[in-house]
């Protein structure tokens, strides 16, 4: 008798950290691939860890639960972590030393050919997200998560059947991505109600005399002011943001081009400007004021190394990895001071790209694949559990 095809199991996994790093937990669900029926739930509080570590731990737990059900199964993993999905699919390198052993552990549970990975939007991963939050809540009380206490099972089984055509409330036509995300977007019956997120509206400063020539302009050289074009761009951004009426606070890089841009908006809105030194641009060292071609001619080896790794600094400058750490510290301070509000953050290319990468769970190498125009608007919604979503990137419609 010819054996039939292997059984298909679906693993949905998630992890979270309240602080990143902070108190962390994971959750995972195993479903029957044919019926969608929940076959197994698992969750645990893991102490202090980052979001990425918690997500990998959730993946490992889900795969192990699937193997306990059927070691010969074909497995489809569905997660809202772009980082984990791309790394486990082999498309992104795993550079962080804390993640390499976790990825190896996950890869060893089933033969590689038996597992396929799929990224899904966060709202379609509500069951695993709920379990992860239950585990973190239990850990806060000094308890272990217990399946009998789970509130996720009844509502989640119906939610998981949503197909690729399910509407995305964050991208619905006619919405303002710079406005606070509605709490209902994160609590549609099967995920934790995390309250109103803090929305960071990210405004790159207007043009300076260096901008049209694409010269490196960081925090280590001169501090150019806005050009006439840049001042017009700042006023256009101010008018657009005033018309939307959602901004409740303004925070700026200390550099002149940002403070001038921030002042144009703040004056229109009747707000003060807070300054955070960690929102400054990266220091490009000896490359300050040079074009890319000039750097290629004068520092070819340094440029190649910089393009290959965010850990590498420009000649005498600051690496993207180092800049990212201080930008994240600035973000956390803003979130602490302005929880649940909409905050305009006036800053530079590198900080905006860092915050976009962190919201997407993408590696810093993805910064080289983003384009940011002068005076462009982007937006990130930051939730109470440490997760975030990118709601807008490089919008220049107010300039036309």
Is the pLDDT at 131 greater than 70? The verdict is: yes
What pLDDT does 22 receive?
Answer: 83
**Closest listed residue to residue 198, CA positions, set 208, 186, 210, 189:** 186
Tokens representing 145?
């998560």
What pLDDT does 146 receive?
Answer: 85
What pLDDT does 285 receive?
Answer: 94
Is the pLDDT at 195 greater than 70? The verdict is: no
Distance CA(268)–CA(270), nearest Å, equals 6
Is the pLDDT at 164 greater than 80? The verdict is: no
Torsion of CA 363, 368, 372, 373, to 10 degrees: 170
What pLDDT does 210 receive?
Answer: 92
- Mean pLDDT across the chain: 86
What pLDDT does 39 receive?
Answer: 95
What pLDDT does 246 receive?
Answer: 86
Is the pLDDT at 191 greater than 50? The verdict is: no
The dihedral region occupied by 375, where left means phi > 0, alpha psi between -120 and 50, and beta the remainder, is left
* Higher per-residue pLDDT: 220 or 58: 58
Is the pLDDT at 167 greater than 80? The verdict is: no
pTM higher than the cut 0.85: no
170: helix, coil or strand?
A: helix
Distance CA(52)–CA(84), nearest Å, equals 8
Kindly list the catalytic residues.
205, 281
Query: What is the average pLDDT across 172-201?
Result: 57
Pairing of strands 342-347, 198-204: parallel
C-alpha distances out from residue 172 to 168, 169, 241, 391, Å: 6, 5, 20, 11
127 burial type by CB count under 10 A (0-12 exposed, 13-18 middle, 19+ buried): buried
Distance CA(18)–CA(275), nearest Å, equals 26
What pLDDT does 197 receive?
Answer: 87
What pLDDT does 71 receive?
Answer: 94
Distance CA(15)–CA(134), nearest Å, equals 11
* Higher per-residue pLDDT: 153 or 202: 202
**Among the listed ranges 65-74, 157-166, 380-389, which one has the minimum average pLDDT value?**
157-166
What pLDDT does 2 receive?
Answer: 55
What pLDDT does 190 receive?
Answer: 37
Cis? peptide before 21, omega within 30° of 0: yes
Tokens representing 363?
């590696």
Query: What is the average pLDDT across 68-92?
Result: 94
What pLDDT does 32 receive?
Answer: 94
Query: What is the average pLDDT across 114-132?
Result: 92
Torsion of CA 173, 179, 184, 185, to 10 degrees: 60
CA 252 to chain centre: 21
CA 223 to chain centre: 30
What pLDDT does 354 receive?
Answer: 96
pLDDT category, 96, cuts 50, 70, 90? confident
Is the pLDDT at 185 greater than 50? The verdict is: no
Distance CA(353)–CA(373), nearest Å, equals 12
C-alpha distances out from residue 165 to 12, 96, 121, 182, 235, Å: 19, 35, 12, 21, 40
In what order do the strands lie in the sheet containing 38-49? 38-49, 22-32, 8-17, 74-79, 115-119
Beta strands of the chain (E only): which ranges?
8-17, 22-32, 38-49, 74-79, 115-119, 198-204, 249-252, 273-275, 342-347, 377-382, 388-395
pLDDT category, 383, cuts 50, 70, 90? confident
Query: What is the average pLDDT across 48-67?
Result: 94
Secondary structure of 48-92 in HEC code, one letter for each residue: EECHHHHHHHHHHHHHHHHHHHCCCCEEEEEECCHHHHHHHCCCC
Is the pLDDT at 143 greater than 90? The verdict is: no
Beta strands of 82-141 (E only): which ranges?
115-119
pLDDT per residue over 224-266, tens digit each? Answer: 999 999 999 999 999 999 988 889 999 999 999 999 999 999 9
């Amino acid at each position: 008798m010819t054996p039939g095809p292997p059984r298909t199991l679906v693993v949905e996994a998630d992890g979270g950290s309240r602080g990143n790093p902070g108190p962390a937990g994971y959750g995972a669900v195993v479903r029957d691939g044919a019926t969608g029926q929940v076959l197994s739930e698992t969750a645990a509080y893991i102490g202090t860890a980052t979001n990425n570590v918690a997500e990998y731990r959730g993946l490992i737990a889900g795969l192990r639960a699937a193997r306990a059900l059927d070691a010969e199964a074909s497995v489809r993993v569905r997660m809202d972590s772009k980082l984990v999905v791309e790394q486990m699919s082999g498309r992104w390198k795993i550079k962080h030393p804390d993640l390499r052993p976790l990825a190896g552990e996950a890869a060893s549970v089933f033969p590689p050919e038996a597992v396929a990975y799929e990224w899904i939007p966060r709202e379609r991963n509500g069951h695993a997200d709920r379990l992860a939050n239950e585990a973190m809540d239990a850990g806060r009380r000094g308890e272990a998560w217990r399946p009998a206490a789970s509130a996720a099972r009844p509502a989640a089984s119906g939610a998981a059947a949503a197909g690729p055509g399910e509407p995305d409330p964050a991208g619905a036509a006619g919405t303002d991505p710079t406005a606070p995300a509605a709490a209902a977007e994160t609590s549609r019956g099967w995920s934790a109600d995390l309250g109103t997120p803090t929305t960071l509206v990210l405004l790159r400063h207007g043009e300076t005399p260096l901008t049209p020539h694409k010269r490196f302009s960081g925090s280590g050289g001169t501090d150019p002011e806005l050009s006439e074009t840049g001042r017009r761009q700042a006023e256009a951004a101010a008018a657009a943001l005033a018309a939307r009426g959602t901004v409740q606070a303004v925070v700026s890089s200390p550099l002149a081009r940002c403070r001038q841009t921030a002042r144009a908006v703040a004056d229109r809105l009747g707000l003060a400007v807070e300054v955070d030194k960690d929102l400054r641009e990266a220091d490009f060292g000896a490359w300050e004021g040079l074009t890319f071609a000039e750097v290629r001619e004068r520092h070819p080896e340094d440029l190649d190394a910089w393009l290959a790794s965010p850990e590498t600094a420009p000649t005498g400058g600051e690496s993207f990895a180092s800049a990212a750490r201080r930008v994240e510290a600035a973000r956390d301070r803003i979130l602490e001071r302005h929880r649940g509000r909409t905050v305009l953050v006036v800053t530079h290319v590198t900080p905006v790209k860092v915050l976009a990468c962190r919201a997407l769970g993408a590696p810093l190498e993805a910064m080289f694949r983003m384009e940011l125009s002068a005076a462009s608007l982007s937006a990130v919604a930051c939730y109470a559990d440490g997760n975030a979503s990118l709601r807008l990137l490089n919008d220049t419609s107010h300039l036309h």
